[in-house]
């Protein structure tokens, strides 16, 4: 493990930017023979490098960085709004149980904690005086995410697809859009690699897979990026990783943040989306 070096760069339109580097460690392979065949193949087929859409807090930053390593720095930062795809676009759309996305966004905007020992619970519509900003409740976080989830549905509605939502244990592709389910890939990068190979019609070699797992595993991301600057005080300019970006990254943490008597409110709010995308109510 190398020493982590943090340099403050300046303020963007919405936050402070940093240059965060692990000394002697690059996020890109030295052996370009692992990535050049993929890049040249895309060029030969007239395809744009992958673009990433994500419901916020659904792993889109991680997926963007994985693909950016595969395409040697050519993949742009993920977007959270729907766009009309170009015929040569290859889009990876990430999503997650919308209740976990909500709780994660609330932790980012209001909760502010990064360790389990600092965890506290709140009500659906009331932070109960436990946060500095009492306005950003769970309900507010969910309302802010609703439009992003609608963008996911709009991508799913394209191309007259008749099987909307989640297809259990199958790669879900709408022509040139692959839908990446957080719960399936977050602890199983091999699953993600296999689906990306199928979708992009490329080969991700074993050495490249191993490199990505070394660089983008949760432990390293938390050590190098998430834990090196204060809670959402800014982000690394290259990777878009925020301070305290990762809490646990586990499934179902929304139940730990929201009082049990209030959990039905969250589920009712997201009922249609949860059913469409295959989550238990």
The structure tokens 């990762």 sit at 246
Predicted confidence at residue 105, as pLDDT, reads 85
Q: Is 240 exposed, middle or buried (0-12, 13-18, 19+ CB in 10 A)?
A: middle
Show the tokens assigned to 59. 């792993």
Predicted confidence at residue 117, as pLDDT, reads 67
User: Phi and psi for 254 in degrees, rounded to 5?
Assistant: -60, -30
Alpha helices in 56-181 (DSSP H): 60-70, 98-106, 138-157
Predicted confidence at residue 13, as pLDDT, reads 76
pTM of the model: 0.91
Predicted confidence at residue 21, as pLDDT, reads 93
- Report the CATH number of the 4-276 domain: 3.40.50.300
User: Phi and psi for 220 in degrees, rounded to 5?
Assistant: -70, -40
Would you give per-residue pLDDT tens digits along the chain (281 residues)? Answer: 789 999 998 888 777 899 999 999 999 999 999 999 999 999 999 999 999 999 999 999 999 999 999 999 999 999 999 999 999 999 999 999 999 999 988 887 766 666 666 677 888 887 667 676 656 888 999 999 999 999 999 999 997 666 777 766 678 888 899 999 999 999 999 999 999 999 999 999 999 999 999 999 988 988 898 787 776 578 889 998 876 656 566 788 899 889 999 999 999 999 999 999 999 99
Predicted confidence at residue 152, as pLDDT, reads 95
Predicted confidence at residue 249, as pLDDT, reads 62
Q: Is 69 exposed, middle or buried (0-12, 13-18, 19+ CB in 10 A)?
A: buried
Predicted confidence at residue 244, as pLDDT, reads 67
């Amino acid at each position: 493990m190398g020493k982590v070096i943090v340099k403050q760069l300046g303020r963007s339109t919405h936050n402070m930017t940093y240059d965060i580097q692990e000394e002697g460690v690059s996020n890109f392979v030295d052996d370009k023979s692992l990535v050049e065949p993929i890049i040249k193949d895309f060029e030969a087929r007239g395809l744009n490098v992958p673009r990433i859409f994500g419901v916020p807090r659904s792993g889109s930053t991680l997926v963007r960085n994985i693909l950016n390593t595969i395409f040697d720095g050519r993949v742009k930062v993920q977007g959270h709004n729907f766009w009309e795809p170009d015929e040569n676009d290859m889009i990876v759309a990430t999503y997650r149980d919308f209740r976990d996305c909500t709780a994660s966004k609330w932790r980012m905007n209001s909760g502010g904690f990064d360790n389990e020992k600092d965890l506290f619970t709140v009500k659906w519509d009331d932070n109960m005086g436990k946060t500095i900003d009492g306005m950003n409740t769970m309900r507010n976080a969910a309302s802010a995410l609703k439009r992003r989830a609608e963008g996911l549905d709009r991508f799913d509605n394209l191309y007259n697809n008749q099987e909307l939502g989640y297809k259990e244990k199958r790669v879900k592709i709408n022509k040139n859009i692959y839908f990446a389910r957080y719960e399936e890939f977050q602890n199983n990068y091999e699953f993600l690699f296999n689906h990306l190979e199928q979708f992009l019609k490329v080969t991700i070699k074993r050495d490249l897979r191993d490199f990505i797992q070394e660089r983008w595993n949760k432990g390293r991301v938390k050590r190098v990026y998430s834990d090196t600057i204060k809670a959402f005080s800014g982000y690394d300019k290259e990777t878009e990783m925020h301070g305290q970006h990762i809490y646990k990254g586990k499934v179902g943490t929304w139940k730990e943040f929201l009082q049990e008597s209030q959990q039905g409110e969250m589920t009712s709010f997201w009922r249609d989306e949860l059913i469409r995308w295959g989550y238990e109510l």
